[in-house]
Amino acid sequence: MPPEEYKKEDGVRFANEYSSLKEKESQLAKEIENVSAKIITLRRADEGRPALWLRLEITIWKKQCVKFPGKQDFGYPELVKAPSRGGAWDEFSTLTSGS
């Protein structure tokens, strides 16, 4: 199939669109993290005084956790391959997050 015709296929278009959106999502997450850090720094400098410069309430919380990808997530196939390389996959035949 010629490249131009191939690019018009629904699956290819959706995959490209998905990839583009994931890149935007990643960039937005970085920007949000940057702005969140600036807000936290500013609030610490205010020593808990009311934030009169805000017209809306912002709640920022941080939680560090380890999360395994689910069976439908992008990284799951690589996660499954890792223990099988070391021969441990037979012992741990299913991975779950517990939820």
The domain total for the chain is 2
| Residue 16 shares a structural domain with residue 58 | yes
Looking at the structure, do residues 41 and 57 belong to the same domain, yes or no?
Answer: yes
- Spatial distance between the Cα atoms of 99 and 74, rounded to a whole number of angstroms: 18
pLDDT-above-70 percentage for the chain: 75
Whole domain around residue 36: which residue ranges? 3-62
More confident residue, 70 or 51: 70
pTM of the shown model: 0.44
73-89 residues labelled b (16+ CB within 10 A) or e (exposed): eeeeeeebeeeeeeeee
Q: Which residue has the higher pLDDT, 10 or 83?
A: 10
The answer to whether residue 12 scores a pLDDT higher than 70 is: yes
Is pLDDT above 60 for 99? no
| pLDDT for 8 beyond 90 | no
Give the DSSP H or E segment for 39: helix 10-45
Most confident of 26-35, 43-52, 75-84: 26-35
Cα 6 → chain centroid:
29
